[in-house]
């Protein structure tokens, strides 16, 4: 008898098409709200990543067109450009290096490197750590390497942690055979 009444109750519950809209709203709204917030956070993360990459390419392009010597003030202004373009609330870092390939020695050499808000400059000792990421180049050719770092901090806690956004962009000098450092 108990089993029959339970089965009948469950069948009636399943077949009942009258609903309380308020109850359904209360049940579904938290999931909908979370989905909207998560969509916003993920879109914002992709947007920030794209903006950072465009800023790195822009800085690389500006430096590649330079015919005068680069100095400390120039690198400071490139960091300001990076910060303005990304509009980031977290700190940004920048490393600009000019790298030369030597065919006889079968290795890359660092002509000069400058950093802002970053620990290590690139030099002949540590260039091996990134040499697999550098392009194939003709003998004594040079590239300008721009590395930027920024941290994306999600606006809402939807299960996504902070993401470090790193960019690695290289460009050949355009109007001069090399971009020189002012000594």
Q: What is the tens place of the pLDDT at every residue in 74-122?
A: 999 999 999 999 988 889 999 999 999 999 999 999 999 999 998 888 8
The whole-number pLDDT of residue 19 equals 65
CA dist list (Å): 81 to 17, 45, 78, 90, 179:
60, 20, 5, 15, 19
**Mean pLDDT computed over 16-44:** 86
The model's pLDDT over 110-166, given as tens digits with 9 standing for 90+, comes to 999 999 998 888 899 999 899 999 999 999 999 999 999 999 999 888 888 999 999
Q: Hunting for tokens 């606006």 — which residue is that?
A: 155
State the helix-helix crossing angle for 72-86 and 21-64, rounded to 10 degrees.
160
Bridge-based pairing state of the strands 142-152 and 107-116: unpaired
Bridge partner residues of 166 (DSSP): 149
**Dihedral over Cα of 132, 51, 91, 76: its sign:** positive
Q: Evaluate if residue 14 carries a pLDDT over 70.
A: yes
Q: Evaluate if residue 18 carries a pLDDT over 90.
A: no
- Report the C-alpha gap between 108 and 91 in whole angstroms: 30
pTM score, two decimals?
0.81
> Both tokens of residue 168?
């690695």
The whole-number pLDDT of residue 169 equals 96
* Phi and psi, residue 63, nearest 5°: -65, -35
The whole-number pLDDT of residue 76 equals 95
The whole-number pLDDT of residue 24 equals 77
Structural domain boundaries in the chain: 17-171
**Residue whose C-alpha is closest to residue 36's, from 27, 44, 47:** 44
């Amino acid at each position: 008898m108990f089993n029959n009444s339970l089965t009948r109750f469950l069948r009636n519950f399943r077949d009942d098409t009258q609903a309380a809209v308020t109850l359904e709203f209360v049940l579904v709204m938290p999931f909908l709200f979370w989905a909207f917030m998560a969509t916003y956070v993920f879109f914002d993360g992709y947007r920030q990543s794209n903006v950072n990459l465009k800023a790195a390419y822009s800085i690389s392009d500006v430096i590649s067109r330079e015919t005068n010597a680069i100095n400390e003030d120039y690198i400071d202004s490139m960091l300001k450009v990076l910060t303005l373009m990304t509009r980031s609330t977290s700190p940004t870092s920048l490393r600009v290096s000019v790298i030369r390939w030597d065919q006889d020695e079968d290795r890359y050499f660092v002509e000069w490197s400058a950093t802002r808000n970053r620990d290590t400059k690139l030099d002949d000792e540590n260039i091996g750590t990134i040499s697999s990421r550098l392009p194939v180049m003709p003998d004594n050719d040079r590239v300008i390497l721009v590395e930027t770092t920024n941290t994306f901090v999600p606006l809402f806690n939807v299960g996504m942690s902070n993401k470090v956004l790193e960019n690695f962009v290289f460009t050949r000098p355009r109007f001069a055979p090399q971009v020189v450092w002012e000594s």
